[in-house]
């Protein structure tokens, strides 16, 4: 793992000469670095984060740090980190693979992070200078040759009371930051996972699985995000509660602002209280997306996407409760006869345009992973619901137009036989395989939309109650 045998000696030398001084000033540590980029600086990181794990400030100088070994920076308590330098992963693919294969870092669901950060009251500030405070993954060369073996996830921030501010993720190999902790704010985050030499539909150079954020923790706010990538900008997964993700831009060929996937292999997964607000989705496969697996269990409740601008996206709004791996054959039998239930799901104020091609470079199976029967370049909304397990879904103020066509040309896929009784009244558009036709929302007393409830009068409450009763009696 250590590419140069001098590294341990240098480490010993520095720790013996500087150790006494550093310990005396344990509240302030500067992470050492070598000027030779062949030398692994990881031991210096471990030392600084051990010496200054408690009530301390840690500085990375304005320099290149070679972080050639995955690191666990754990048991931190009340630590503020200033990253004025850049943290570079190895540019040698084999070296990364061997290191990730051997690391004891705690894995996430699908990958092992290069940086595992754990503790309480931890704040990390990236440099104000755009050229610094960077995590350089050297992912470009992985994408160029389509290498997807033993890829690391960049970082896990498993912290209670945390702040990530002004961090820049440059050419990550794959997944970016995972946030399983609680009481976390991530602000002004930057992601460049756009291949230097590939278009969004090029399957060779596509930056697969370059999710910006995976959120599975509680009370997390993402405020300010600018990124180009080839997977979800923000993915909210099992366990997540009280999430707000706002004020962001997602470019290249992102896969959207996503909930899920939930309920894989019949798992009991839950997500609650999520707001995505004020995002521009430019060139994305989806704007808003919910995904749960065929035969899933659990539930997702109170999820809102609002103030979303779409620029040439494939599908504006997408829900599937019937997801499966299309490249592994036909849809499996739903042996559980179950689905992840969804409720109080709102899509509000979407404007913008669709693109001419509903696929992207991650389409390497036939049919493509995002294929649904009937899909084409006019689909503003696709709802693939499991019968009667979707309650209080509503679409409000949606104006989406296909490329070079007017909004009247926008169509939807929605099977009315999957709707729960009364659901059409609150849906906000006509559930059909056909044109997008907005419909008035008839509020009902169990509805989710507090604002809507507040603004309506007694008469409409009565109408809502009556239509709900009618809906139920017809079922
Ligand atoms: C946190 O650490 C700083 C030093 O970096 C110290 O001044 C402060 O008192 C500590 N806070 C608590 C609550 O201990
Ligand atoms: C840091 O690394 C980059 C890329 O290799 C290089 O261009 C730059 O000169 C280095 N900066 C310093 C201060 O070493
Ligand atoms: C890349 O790393 C591998 C494994 O450490 C090593 O065998 C190989 O020589 C390295 N390649 C280069 C170009 O340094
Ligand atoms: C990963 O590690 C295992 C042993 O833990 C070893 O058998 C395997 O060859 C390693 N793979 C790579 C690609 O290094
Ligand atoms: C992040 O979430 C997405 C969506 O569920 C998933 O595809 C990806 O594997 C997750 N990444 C990690 C590192 O767990
Ligand atoms: C986060 O830390 C908790 C303990 O504080 C641990 O139980 C959990 O597995 C960790 N999660 C991840 C994804 O590392
Ligand atoms: C939620 O997290 C924020 C930090 O982002 C914190 O200020 C706030 O107190 C937390 N709220 C709760 C209810 O813990
Ligand atoms: C892609 O661009 C990189 C520079 O970022 C270059 O080194 C590489 O050779 C290019 N690959 C292909 C297949 O064109
Ligand atoms: C859409 O992109 C796919 C994948 O690159 C390509 O095969 C197909 O020809 C494109 N279709 C159109 C209509 O551009
Ligand atoms: C919406 O987000 C953008 C950043 O993408 C920001 O510049 C703008 O100020 C935000 N708008 C509002 C109303 O907060
Ligand atoms: C729904 O979720 C949002 C976003 O986390 C939260 O602000 C709101 O209080 C939640 N509503 C309910 C009724 O819990
Ligand atoms: C939907 O939200 C309302 C209002 O917050 C709540 O009473 C109801 O329990 C939620 N529905 C479900 C199925 O959780």
Distance from the alpha carbon of residue 384 to the mean position of ligand 7, in angstroms: 35
Dump pLDDT digits (tens) for 347-392: 999 999 999 999 999 999 989 999 999 999 999 999 999 999 999 9
The larger pLDDT score, comparing residue 192 to residue 14, is at: 192
> 3-state secondary structure string, the chain?
CCCCCHHHHHHHHHHHHHHHHHHHCCCEEEECCCCCCCCCCHHHHHHHHHHCCEEEEEEECCCEEECCCCEEEEEEEEEEEEECCEEECCCCHHHHHHHHHHCCCCCCCCCCEEEEEEEEEEEEEECCCCCCCEEECCCHHHHHCCCCCCCCEEEEEEEEEEEEECCEEECCCCCCEEECCEEEEEEEEEEECCCCCCCCCCCCCCCCCCCCEEECCEEEEEEEEEEEECCCCEEECCCCEEEEEEEEEEEECCCCEEEEEECHHHCEEEEEEEEEEEEEEECCCEEEEEEEECCCEEEEEEEEEEEEEEEEECEEEEEEEEECCHHHCCCCCCCCCCCCEEEEEEEEEEEEEECCCCCCCCCCCCCCCCCCCCCCCCEEEEEECCCCCEEEEEEEEEEEECCCCCHHHCEEEECHHHCCCCHHHHHCECCCCEECCECCCCCCCCCCCHHHHHHCCHHHHHHHHHHHHHHHHHC
Distance from the alpha carbon of residue 434 to the mean position of ligand 3, in angstroms: 56
Dump pLDDT digits (tens) for 150-196: 999 999 999 999 999 999 999 999 999 999 999 999 999 999 999 99
Span 419-434, mean pLDDT?
97
CB 17 near ligand 4, within 6 Å: no
Q: Which ligand is nearest to the CA of 107?
A: 6
| Catalytic position from the list 231, 232, 282, 425 | 231
On average, the pLDDT of the chain sits at: 90
200, 204, 359: residue to mutate for ligand 9 pocket, most atoms within 8 A of CB: 359
The whole-model pTM stands at 0.90
CB 196 near ligand 8, within 6 Å: yes
What is the model's pLDDT at position 461? 40
**Residue position matching structure tokens 């558009």:** 429
Q: Give the pLDDT band of residue 469 (cuts 50, 70, 90).
A: very low
219, 257, 273, 306: residue to mutate for ligand 11 pocket, most atoms within 8 A of CB: 273
| Catalytic position from the list 33, 189, 228, 255 | 255
Atom of ligand 6 nearest to the CA of 160: 5
Q: Give the pLDDT band of residue 330 (cuts 50, 70, 90).
A: confident
CB 97 near ligand 4, within 6 Å: yes
- Of 201, 244, 224, 232, the C-alpha closest to 355 is 201
Q: Which ligand is nearest to the CA of 141?
A: 8
**Residue position matching structure tokens 């062949």:** 38
Pairing type for strands 411-414 and 434-435 reads antiparallel
What is the model's pLDDT at position 4? 36
What is the model's pLDDT at position 443? 76
159, 187, 219, 242: residue to mutate for ligand 7 pocket, most atoms within 8 A of CB: 219
Domains of the chain by start residue, with CATH: 29-159 (no CATH), 193-323+341-443 (2.160.20.10)
Task: Please check the confidence at residue 212 and state whether its pLDDT lies above 50.
Answer: yes
Span 37-58, mean pLDDT?
97
Annotated catalytic residue 269: no
Buried b / exposed e over 234-250, threshold 16 CB at 10 Å, is bbbbbebbbbbbbbbbb
CB 224 within 8 A of CB 191: no
What is the model's pLDDT at position 26? 57
CB 214 near ligand 5, within 6 Å: yes
Q: Which residues contact 5 (CB under 8 A, 6 or more apart)?
A: none
Dump pLDDT digits (tens) for 234-275: 999 999 999 999 999 999 999 999 999 999 999 999 999 999
CB 186 within 8 A of CB 152: no
pLDDT above 90 coverage of the chain, percent:
83
What is the model's pLDDT at position 370? 93
**Residue position matching structure tokens 């109170």:** 302
Comparing 111-115, 136-140, 441-445, the range with the smallest average pLDDT is 441-445
Which residues are near ligand 9 (CB < 6 Å)?
A: 201, 357, 359, 363
Annotated catalytic residue 51: no
Atom of ligand 6 nearest to the CA of 109: 13
Dump pLDDT digits (tens) for 96-114: 999 999 999 999 988 999 9
CB 211 near ligand 5, within 6 Å: yes
CB 351 within 8 A of CB 310: yes
Distance from the alpha carbon of residue 144 to the mean position of ligand 8, in angstroms: 6
Task: Please check the confidence at residue 472 and state whether its pLDDT lies above 50.
Answer: no
CB 275 near ligand 11, within 6 Å: yes
């Amino acid at each position: 793992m250590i590419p140069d045998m001098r590294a341990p000696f240098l480490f010993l030398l520095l720790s013996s000469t500087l150790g006494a001084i550093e310990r005396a000033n344990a509240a302030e540590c500067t992470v050492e670095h070598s000027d030779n980029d062949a030398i692994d600086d990881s031991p210096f990181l471990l030392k600084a984060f051990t010496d200054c794990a408690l009530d301390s400030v840690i500085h990375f100088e304005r320099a290149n740090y070679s972080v050639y070994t995955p690191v666990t920076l754990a048991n931190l308590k009340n630590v503020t980190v200033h990253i004025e330098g850049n943290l570079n992963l190895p540019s040698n693919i084999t070296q990364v693979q061997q290191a990730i294969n051997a690391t004891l870092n705690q894995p996430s669901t699908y990958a092992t992070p290069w940086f595992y950060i754990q503790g309480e009251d931890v704040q990390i500030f990236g440099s104000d200078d755009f050229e610094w405070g960077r995590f350089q993954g050297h992912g470009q060369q992985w994408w160029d040759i389509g290498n997807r073996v033993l890829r690391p996830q960049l970082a896990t921030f498993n912290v209670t009371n945390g702040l990530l501010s002004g961090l820049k993720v440059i050419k990550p190999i794959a997944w970016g930051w995972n946030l399983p902790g609680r009481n976390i704010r991530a602000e002004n985050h930057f992601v460049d996972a756009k291949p230097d030499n590939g278009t969004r539909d090029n399957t060779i150079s596509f930056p697969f699985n370059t999710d910006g954020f995976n959120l599975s923790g509680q009370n997390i706010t993402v405020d300010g995000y600018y990124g180009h990538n080839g997977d979800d900008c923000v993915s909210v997964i099992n366990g997540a509660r009280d999430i707000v993700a706002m004020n962001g831009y997602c470019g290249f060929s992102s896969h959207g602002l996503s909930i899920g996937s939930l309920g894989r292999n019949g798992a009991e997964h839950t997500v609650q209280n999520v707001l995505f607000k004020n995002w521009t989705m430019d060139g994305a496969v989806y704007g808003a997306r919910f995904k749960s697996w065929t035969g899933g269990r659990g539930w997702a409740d109170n999820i809102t996407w609002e103030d979303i601008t779409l620029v040439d996206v494939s599908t504006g709004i997408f829900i599937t409760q019937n997801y499966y791996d299309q490249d592994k054959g036909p849809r499996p039998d739903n042996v559980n006869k179950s689905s992840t239930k969804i409720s109080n799901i709102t899509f509000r104020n979407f404007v913008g345009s669709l693109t001419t091609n509903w696929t992207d470079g991650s389409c390497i199976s036939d049919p493509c992973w995002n294929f649904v029967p009937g899909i084409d370049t006019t689909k503003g909304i696709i709802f693939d619901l499991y019968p009667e397990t979707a309650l209080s879904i509503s679409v409000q103020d949606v104006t989406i137009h296909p490329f070079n066509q007017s909004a009247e040309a926008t169509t939807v896929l929605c099977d009315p036989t999957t709707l729960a009784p009364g659901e059409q009244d609150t849906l906000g558009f006509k559930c059909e395989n056909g044109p997008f036709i907005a419909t008035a929302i008839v509020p009902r007393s169990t509805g989710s939309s507090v604002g809507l409830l507040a603004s309506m009068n007694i008469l409409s409450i009565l109408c809502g109650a009556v239509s709900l009763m009618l809906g139920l009696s017809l079922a």
